[in-house]
Amino acid sequence: MQYAGIIVGIYTFIMIGVLHFAVVKIERVIGSHIWPWFVVLSLGFGVASVMVSGVLASALLGVSGFLFAWSGPELKKQKERVEGTH
């Protein structure tokens, strides 16, 4: 049996929740001006995903890269959402 697919799915599900919470908390505590660091992290994960030899590790790093790439701009949108409620 192959468990890689279910592992990647569970990891993705958990990381979406973690990064959603992190985006809200980071925007509140630090501000949205650090969004470029999320993009830098995503590029680092992307590079790492093509450098490792294991398929599972590569997939997890690739998923992380895309999730951080998505979360960076979400920081800016979170700021707009918060400003819209005040």
* Cβ atoms of 42 and 58 closer than 8 Å: no
Domain residue ranges in the chain: 4-85
Is this structure's pTM higher than 0.85? yes
For residue 67, what pLDDT is reported?
97
Per-residue confidence in pLDDT tens, the chain, 86 aa: 789 999 999 999 999 999 999 999 999 999 989 999 999 999 999 999 999 999 999 999 999 999 999 999 999 888 888 887 76
- Please report, as a single letter, which amino acid is at residue 9: G
For residue 20, what pLDDT is reported?
95
For residue 1, what pLDDT is reported?
78
Q: Where are the beta strands (DSSP E) in 1-86?
A: none
Q: What span, in angstroms and rounded, lies between the C-alpha atoms of 80 and 12?
A: 26
Q: What angle do CA 40, 46, 51 make, to 5 degrees?
A: 125
